């Protein structure tokens, strides 16, 4: 029954891809490349039973994975590489020449950027005066607040890259795109700093899963400090209205 099982699974993948695979079969197939000459089907079931879903397996940290009997550091490293590879693959598909002239385009880029992210991560998107992306720089991992996010560091990055406009972004892993008071205060502080440098901060986008919220208008309604922005960025956001 098990003779040539791996070859049959690999040939099935080459013909069909993973779309027809059950979740445990996806893990079984992946573990082929970390555990030679051993039936990985029971271990795949163990992982799913322990974590509850395929995405939860990939989102688990190294320590949690290696606590599962049969999963060593080698296997855990392979499993943890999958979300990072997915993010890298998707990000690479975004051409540097793409024009990010609406919030929807920037948010779509960020939603893909945050795939599989399990910690709060802050990015600064840098755009030229024609809305072409110069760079997307990771500036911090952890909770976003004014004590941790250095406006000086953000300003130095933007000036060094000669950006005309910027978008600040962070995520709420496994949460909802609802900003905290710290989120709003930090948004306004950073926007004011960029305004003083004559660099337009277009928005601060909060991502949670496949949803997002824009924070700059909300922060201005609280702190009442105007920041110059391009008019089309005030266009309605369908996802925000659904929220």
The CATH number given to whatever domain includes residue 57 is 1.10.150.20
Blockwise average pLDDT, block size 10, the chain, 243 residues: 79 89 94 89 95 92 94 94 83 67 92 87 93 91 64 92 94 88 88 92 93 86 52 47 45
The CATH number given to whatever domain includes residue 137 is 3.40.140.10
Structure tokens, 105: 């385009």
What sign does the CA torsion over 233, 161, 186, 205 have?
positive
- Give me the helices (H) in the chain, please: 5-16, 23-31, 41-51, 54-59, 62-66, 73-92, 103-113, 151-160, 181-196, 216-223, 238-242
**95: exposed, middle or buried (C-beta count within 10 Å: 0-12, 13-18, 19+)?**
exposed
Find the domain containing 154 and state its range.
Answer: 96-242
35/137 same-domain check: no
Q: What is the pLDDT of residue 242?
A: 46
Last residue of a domain, one of 39, 54, 89: 89
Q: Are strands 165-171 and 211-214 parallel, antiparallel or unpaired?
A: unpaired
195/108 same-domain check: yes
16/135 same-domain check: no
Q: What is the pLDDT of residue 238?
A: 46
- Which residues are 132's β-sheet partners? 99
Q: What is the pLDDT of residue 229?
A: 52
Contact partners, residue 41, CB within 8 Å, separation at least 6? 24, 28
33/112 same-domain check: no
- Indicate the angle between helix axes 73-92 and 23-31, nearest 10 degrees: 110
153/229 same-domain check: yes
Q: What is the pLDDT of residue 147?
A: 47
State the Cα–Cα distance between residues 181 and 46, nearest whole angstrom.
41
State the Cα–Cα distance between residues 243 and 177, nearest whole angstrom.
8
Q: What is the pLDDT of residue 236?
A: 45
Last residue of a domain, one of 47, 62, 89: 89
Structurally, the chain folds into a number of domains equal to 2
State the Cα–Cα distance between residues 80 and 217, nearest whole angstrom.
37
Q: What is the pLDDT of residue 215?
A: 92
């Amino acid at each position: 029954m098990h003779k040539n099982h791996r070859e049959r699974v690999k040939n099935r993948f080459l013909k069909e891809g993973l779309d027809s695979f059950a979740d445990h079969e996806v893990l079984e197939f992946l573990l082929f490349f970390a555990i030679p000459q051993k039936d990985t089907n029971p271990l795949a079931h163990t992982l799913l039973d322990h974590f509850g879903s395929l995405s939860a397996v990939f989102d688990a940290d190294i320590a949690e994975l290696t606590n599962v009997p049969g999963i060593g550091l080698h296997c855990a490293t392979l499993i943890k590489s999958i979300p990072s590879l997915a993010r890298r693959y998707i990000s690479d598909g975004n051409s540097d020449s793409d024009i990010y002239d609406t919030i929807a385009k920037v948010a779509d880029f960020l939603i893909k950027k945050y795939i599989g992210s399990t910690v709060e991560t802050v990015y600064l998107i840098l755009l030229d005066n024609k809305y072409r992306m110069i760079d997307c720089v990771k500036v911090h991992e952890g909770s976003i607040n004014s004590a941790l996010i250095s406006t000086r560091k953000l300003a130095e990055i933007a000036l060094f890259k000669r950006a005309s406009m910027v978008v600040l972004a962070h995520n709420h892993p496994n949460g909802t795109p609802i900003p905290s008071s710290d989120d709003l205060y930090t948004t306004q502080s950073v926007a004011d700093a960029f305004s003083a440098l004559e660099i337009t901060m277009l928005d601060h986008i909060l991502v949670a899963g496949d949803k997002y919220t824009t924070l700059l208008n909300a922060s201005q309604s609280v702190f009442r400090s105007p920041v110059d922005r391009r008019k089309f960025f005030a266009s309605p956001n369908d996802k925000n209205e659904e929220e």
